[in-house]
A and B are shown apart, each in its own frame.
Chain A
C-alpha cells in the first residue's frame, strides 16, 4: 500500500513540477521544472546526441539506469503522458462504478515492429516516426493547445470580473489557438490514447510507444522484480482487476515484467500478502528467455543513441528537402535549418513560452518529414528584442540557448521593403510604423520633400519582424524572409557623446 502511495506522490510531484514550463513566458524556468524536463527520455537523447559530454544530456542515462534497477518506473512516475492516462482513469472511476479493467490480451509483436521501424528510419535520417510517437511530445502538444488554453480562459474571466470592480492587480494573457491541422492531429492522437487508457489499460504504452518498448526490454531483468507467491496466492483475481497492463496471471502464478509499468496497484489491493516487489533472489519467473532480451535491450539503447548523430549527416534527408521551398524563419538559437530539423521533435514548448506568439505551431511549416516543427510568423507577432526564452526552454537543444546579447546580434531573417506597396512611396504620406518599431535602428528615415521615407540598412537588420508586424498595409509592404543559416549582424557603434547638455541660460529668453 505504501509503495502505491509513493508512486502516486512521485508522479504528482513530477507532473506538477513540469507544468510551469507550459505557463512560463520568461527565460527563467524554475530548477525543478528543468530537472523533470531533462529526465524526459527522447528529448534528453537528442540533447545527448548534440553534446555527449554536457550535463543536460545525462538525464536519459539516469532514467535508463533506474530502469535497470527498478523496472519501468519512468512510465508511471515521470512520463507525463503516462501520468495523464492515470489521472484520466482516476476521474473515470469516480463516475463509473466498475473499477476493474477488462481482461487484456497480451500485446503482440506490433510494438517490436514499431520500435524496429523507428530505429531504422532514424538511422536513415528520418525521425518523423520517433517525433510523432514520443510520449513527451504528444503530451506537450496536447497540453499546450488544450488544457493550457482552457486555464488561460478561466484566468482571463476571473480577471475581467476583478476589473469590473476597478481592481487591476492582475493582467489577462492572450490565448493562442493552434492552426486547425495541428489542433486536429494533436487532439485526436491524445484522445485515442487517453480513452484507451481509461477503459482498457495502458494500451499505448505496451503496444505502440517505442519508449515503453525499449524499457520493456530492460525491465525483464531489472534488479527489483514483482513476484507472485504461488503458496499465498488464492487466485481471488483482485490484482488482475486493477492491473493496467494485464501482466498478472493468477492461474499460472506469473507476472510479465515486460508489460508492468510499476504502478503498484496490485500490491496495494492484495489481501493475502502474495505479491512482492523486491530484489530478485530465487529463480526468475519469466515468460521469455532472460539473457536474450537483456542483450536486446542494451543493443537497442546503444543503437538508438548512436543513430541520432548519424542523422545530422544523413544524405537521404538532405535529398528530401525541396529545392524551391521557402525556408521558414527559425527562432534565434536554431543556428541553421539542418540543425533545427534534426533536433526538433515538435513539442511546442517554444510556442508556449513565446510571449508575442510569433512562433507558430504549424503542422507542416517544414516538409512532411518534419511535422509539427514550428516557424515564426510575423503576422502574428514580432520576436521581442529583449527576450531569449525559446532557447532556454527547448528540451532537445534544437534551439540553442543564447545570451540576450548574443540573441540581439543574431540575424534570423532579412527584411525587404516593397516600394510598390509602401504608403510612403506610393501615396507620399508619412507613416513610419516600421521605423518606429525597429529595435536595432536598421530602418532610417530619409527626407524626400515633405515625407520621410523608410530605408533598411541591411547590416543592422536582425529579421526580428517588428517592422512586418507593425506595417499597416494589407498585404504587408515590408516582410522578412527566412535564412538557411543564421548570421551575425552588426551593431550600432556607441556614440561617444558627452553627458546630456544642460540648456539653462537664465538670460536666454524663450524662443516665442
Chain B
C-alpha cells in the first residue's frame, strides 16, 4: 500500500465516521427519546388561523394544521359538539354558528372513529315552539343530523344535572350542566364570533353559557366573572371559532341583519382564552379591555398573551 492510498483510506474512514456520528447526533438531538421509546408526535400549535375559504375548506386546513382530528377524537369515544344556536335566525344573519362548519366537524369526528356525536344548545327563549325554531332556522339541526349526529333538546331543566363548582365565588358552589357534557369523552366548542351589546363580544368562553341551565344566574351575579369562572369546570378539548360571517353590531340577537362582515376566517385553539384574545383582535379590540378575557387570564384558565404563543397562519388560495 502506498502512502497515498493509506491517506485516502484514512480520509474515507474519517469522513464516513464523522458523517455517521453527525447523522446520529443530529438524529439524537431532533428526537432524543426515539432511541429509548416509541415515537411521540409533535405538539399541535397553540393557535391556528385560516383565511379565505368556505367554512368546510377552512376547517379542513385548520384541523390538518393542528395534526388531524384523530389527535383529539379516539375510536369509540362520545363527542359533544357545542355550537351557538341560541336564536331563531338564519345563517345569513350571523347570529348562530355556520351550519356547514358544524356538519364538517361532525363528519371529521365520525371519520376519526367517534361512536356518538351530540349536538345541542340551551336557547335563550325556551318555549318549545321557539326552541324548535332555533334548531331548525339556524340550519344546524338538519346539518348535524345529516352528518349522523344525535341532536338533543336542552330547553328544560330535566336534561341537566347538578354539579359542584370549586374556585367560583361569583357563581356559587353549584351549577347545573347538560347531561351530555357529563357523558361525553370529548368536548368540542364551536362558537360564532360576534359583537355583543352587553359583554362587548361573544366567542368561545361565552359559548359555554349554553351548557348550563341557570343562565339568568350569570346575569344576576355579574356576567363577566361568571363567564370566566365557569371555564374552569371543564375546558373544551378544542375551540373552533367561526369567523366566516361576523356580526359587528346589534348582537347577540341580530335584529339588524345588515351589520355583518364576511371575514372568511376560522381559528382553532385548545386554549379558549387565547382563542378569544385572537378573536377580540379580529374585531378590533385589545384582549385586556374585554372584562371576561382579562378575568379568565387572571384565573389561569388560559393566556391572552398571544406574543408568547406558537401561532400558525394560513391563507387559502380561494
Interface residues of A (CB under 8 A from B): 25-26, 160, 166, 168, 171-174, 355-357, 381-382, 384, 386-387, 423, 427, 429-433, 435-437, 439-441, 444-445, 450, 452, 470, 472-473, 492, 495, 497, 500-504, 506, 509-512
Question: For residue A435, which residues in chain B have a CB less than 8 angstroms away from its CB?
Answer: 197-198
Q: How far is the CA of A355 from the CA of B129 in the complex (A)?
A: 7
CB atoms of B258 and A495 under 8 A apart: yes
Query: How distant is the Cα of A481 from the Cα of B107 in the complex, in angstroms?
Result: 51
List the B side residues contacting A437 at CB < 8 Å: 124-125, 253
Query: How distant is B91 from chain A, measured CB to nearest CB, in Å?
Result: 12
Choose one: A436, A470, A497, A503; the contact of B252 (CB below 8 Å): A436
- Cβ < 8 Å to A, chain B residues 225-276: 225, 245, 250, 252-253, 255-256, 258-264
Q: Is the CB of A356 within 8 A of B127?
A: yes
Residues on the B chain within 8 Å of A382, using CB: 125
- B52 CB-CB contact with A under 8 Å: yes
* A-facing residues in B279-297 (Cβ within 8 Å): 281-282, 284, 291
A454 to chain B, nearest CB (A): 8
Nearest A-chain residue to B150, judged by Cβ: A166
A43 to B295, CA, bound (A): 61
Prevailing SS type, chain B contact patch: mixed
* Contact B264 A441, beta carbon cutoff 8 Å: no
Supposing A174-B127, A432-B197, A435-B197 touch, asked if A423 and B318 sit within 8 A by C-beta, the answer is no
Contacts of B64 in A (CB 8 A): none
17 A-B residue pairs with CB within 8 Å: A26-B129, A174-B128, A384-B125, A427-B222, A431-B219, A432-B199, A436-B196, A436-B197, A472-B216, A472-B219, A500-B262, A503-B261, A509-B313, A510-B278, A511-B282, A511-B284, A512-B281
Residues from chain B with a CB closer than 8 A to the CB of A423 are 219-220, 222
- Tell me which of B198, B252, B260, B284 contacts A500 (CB under 8 A): B260
Q: Which residues of A contact B315 (CB under 8 A)?
A: 506
B224 within 8 A of A: yes
> Smallest distance from the beta carbon of B149 to chain A beta carbons, Å?
11
Which B-chain residue is minimally distant from A166 (CB atoms)? B150
Expressed in whole angstroms, the minimum distance between the Cβ of A168 and any Cβ of chain B is 6
Instruction: Give A356 to B132 CA distance when docked, in angstroms.
Output: 14
Interface residue B217 (Cβ < 8 Å from any Cβ of A): yes
Q: Are B216 and A25 in contact (CB under 8 A)?
A: no
Contacts of A357 in B (CB 8 A): 127
In the bound complex, residues from chain A placing their C-beta under 8 Å from that of B125 are 382, 384, 437
Q: Which of B252, B291, B311 contacts A430 (CB 8 A)?
A: B291
Residue pair A25, B198 in contact (C-beta under 8 Å) = no
| Cross-chain contact of A504 among B150, B219, B264 (Cβ < 8 A) | B264
- Is A500 touching B153 in the complex (CB atoms < 8 A)? no
Closest to A444 in B: B197
Q: Is B112 located at the chain interface by the 8 A CB criterion?
A: no
Q: For chain B residues 118-132, which have a beta carbon within 8 Å of chain A?
A: 124-125, 127-132
Tell me the bound Cα distance from A473 to B313 in angstroms. 45
How far, in angstroms, from A444 to B197 measured CA to CA in the complex?
8
Chain A's nearest CB lies how many Å from the CB of B314?
Answer: 10
- Measured CB to CB, the closest approach of chain B to A383, in angstroms, equals 11
**What mask results when residues 305 to 318 of chain B are scored 1 for a CB within 8 Å of chain A, else 0?**
01000010101001
Contact check, B127 vs A501: say whether CB atoms are below 8 A apart. Answer: no
Q: A172-B156, A384-B130, A430-B291 are in contact. Are A439 and B224 (CB under 8 A)?
A: no
Q: In the complex the two chains form, is A432's CB within 8 Å of B127's CB?
A: no
**Contact between A510 and B151 (Cβ–Cβ < 8 Å)?**
no
Closest Cβ of chain B to A445, distance in Å, is 5
Size of chain B's interface in residues, with CB distance under 8 A? 55
Contacts of A172 in B (CB 8 A): 128, 156
- A residues in contact with B73, CB < 8 Å: none
A506 adjacent to B318 (CB under 8 Å): yes
Query: When the two chains form their complex, are residues B261 and A429 in contact, meaning their CB atoms are under 8 A apart?
Result: no
Residue of A nearest to B128 (CB): A171
B252 contacts which chain A residues (CB < 8 A)? 436
Query: Which of A168, A430, A470, A511 is in CB contact (< 8 Å) with B216?
Result: A470
Selected contact of A502 from candidates B130, B151, B223, B262, CB within 8 Å = B262
Shortest beta-carbon distance from A159 to chain B in Å: 10
How close is A465's CB to chain B, nearest CB, in angstroms?
A: 12
Taking a contact as CB atoms closer than 8 A, the residue among A168, A436, A450 that contacts B124 in the complex is A436
Q: How far is the CA of A492 from the CA of B253 in the complex (A)?
A: 15
**Given A452-B198, A500-B258; 15 other pairs, CB 8 A cutoff:** A355-B128, A386-B88, A432-B198, A437-B253, A445-B198, A450-B291, A470-B219, A472-B220, A497-B259, A500-B245, A500-B260, A502-B261, A503-B262, A510-B278, A512-B311
State in angstroms the CA–CA spacing of A512 and B131 once bound together.
37
Q: Which residues of A contact B198 (CB under 8 A)?
A: 430-432, 435-436, 445, 452
In the assembled complex, B25 has its CB within 8 A of some CB on chain A: no
Bound form: Cα–Cα A423–B216 in Å: 12
Write out the residue numbers on chain A whose beta carbons fall within 8 Å of the beta carbon of B219: 423, 431-433, 470, 472
Top 10 closest pairs, chain A to chain B, by CB: A432-B198, A472-B220, A497-B258, A472-B216, A433-B219, A429-B222, A511-B281, A500-B260, A472-B219, A445-B197
**What are the residues of chain B within 8 A of A470 when measuring CB–CB?**
124, 216, 219
Cα A509 to Cα B281 with chains together (Å) = 12
B153 neighbours in A (Cβ, 8 Å): 168, 171
B contact residues around A440 at 8 Å (CB): 255
* Complex Cα–Cα for A302 and B281 (A): 76
Asked if residues B129 and A429 are in contact (CB atoms below 8 Å), the reply is no
Contact flags (1/0) for B116-158 with A, using CB distance below 8 Å? 0000000011011111100000000000000000111100101
Residue of A nearest to B159 (CB): A163
Given A172-B128, A427-B222, A441-B256, do A452 and B197 touch, yes or no (CB 8 Å)?
Answer: yes
Q: Is the CB of A436 within 8 A of B253?
A: yes
Chain B, residue nearest A173 (CB): B128
- Considering the complex, give the chain A residue whose CB is closest to the CB of B220: A472
> CA A497 – CA B257 in complex, angstroms?
10
* Residue numbers in B under 8 Å from A436 (CB-CB): 124, 196-198, 252-253
* Chain B residue, CB-CB nearest to A356: B127
Q: Contact check: which of B129, B222, B255, B261 meets A501 at CB < 8 Å?
A: B261
Which A residue sits closest to B130, measured CB to CB? A384
- CB-defined contacts of B278 to chain A, threshold 8 Å: 510, 512
Known: A510-B51, A512-B281. A430 touches B224 (CB 8 A): yes
Q: Is the CB of B224 within 8 A of A171?
A: no
Whether A171 pairs with B197 at a CB distance below 8 angstroms is no
Q: Are A432 and B51 in contact, with the CB atoms below 8 A?
A: no
**In the complex, A313→B180 CA distance in Å?**
60
Given contacts A355-B127, A431-B219, contact A504 B318 (CB under 8 A): yes
Min C-beta distance of B258 to chain A, whole Å: 4
Nearest B residue to A357, CB-CB: B127
- B220 surroundings in chain A (CB, below 8 A): 423, 431, 472-473
Q: Give CA–CA (A168, B124) in the complex, Å.
A: 20
Give min CB distance, B79 to chain A, whole Å. 15
* Contact between A495 and B256, CB atoms less than 8 A apart: yes
Give the residues in chain A near B311, CB-CB below 8 Å: 512
CB distance from B134 to the nearest CB of A (A): 12
On chain A, the residues within 8 Å of B192 by CB distance are none
Q: Report A-chain residues with C-beta under 8 Å of the C-beta of B217.
A: 472
B226 CB to closest chain A CB, in angstroms?
10
B246 to chain A minimum Cβ distance, whole angstroms, is 8
Residue B90 CB within 8 A of the other chain: no
Question: Could you tell me the distance between the alpha carbons of A355 and B223 in the complex, rounded to whole angstroms?
Answer: 29
Binary interface profile of B, 37-77, with partner A (CB < 8 Å = 1, else 0)? 00000000000010110000000000000000000000000
Question: A382 vs B262: C-alpha distance in the bound complex, in angstroms?
Answer: 34
